């Protein structure tokens, strides 16, 4: 048996389980779970399985800006762009990639 379920969770726990994706609120995350059960497993005892969801952004987090206003100046935007590019370059190089500037003619 193969199936897919969508778990909606927040910090208080699992809020819902659905057979189709229905979106989520700002404080929730939806986890798509692929379930596959062998035919011989449909007998006692009860099967226990642990599902651990790690932060998929770990190690590539570039949320270095905290916006306090609904707007920023062009100069602030340029500083943010430069910081993010440098951080992304460091992340890629730490993962074994070679990063170089694009040559212009």
| Max Cα–Cα distance, the chain, nearest Å | 70
Angle at 52 between CA 93 and CA 37, to 5 degrees: 120
Tokens of 79: 């500083």
pLDDT at 44: 84
- Render pLDDT for 2-30 as a digit per residue (tens, 0 to 9): 999 999 999 999 999 999 988 888 899 88
Determine what percent of the chain is predicted with pLDDT higher than 70. 85
Confidence of residue 62 (pLDDT cuts 50, 70, 90): low
The answer to whether the beta carbons of residues 10 and 21 sit under 8 Å apart is: no
């Amino acid at each position: 048996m193969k199936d897919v379920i969508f778990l909606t969770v927040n910090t208080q726990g699992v809020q819902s389980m659905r057979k189709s994706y229905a979106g989520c609120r700002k404080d929730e995350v939806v986890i798509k779970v692929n379930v596959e059960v062998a035919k011989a497993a449909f007998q006692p005892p009860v099967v226990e399985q642990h599902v651990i969801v790690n932060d998929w952004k770990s190690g590539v987090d570039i949320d270095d800006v905290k916006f306090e206003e609904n707007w920023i100046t062009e100069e602030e935007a340029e500083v943010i762009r430069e910081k993010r590019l440098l951080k992304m370059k460091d992340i890629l190089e730490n993962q074994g990639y070679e990063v170089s500037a694009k040559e212009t003619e």
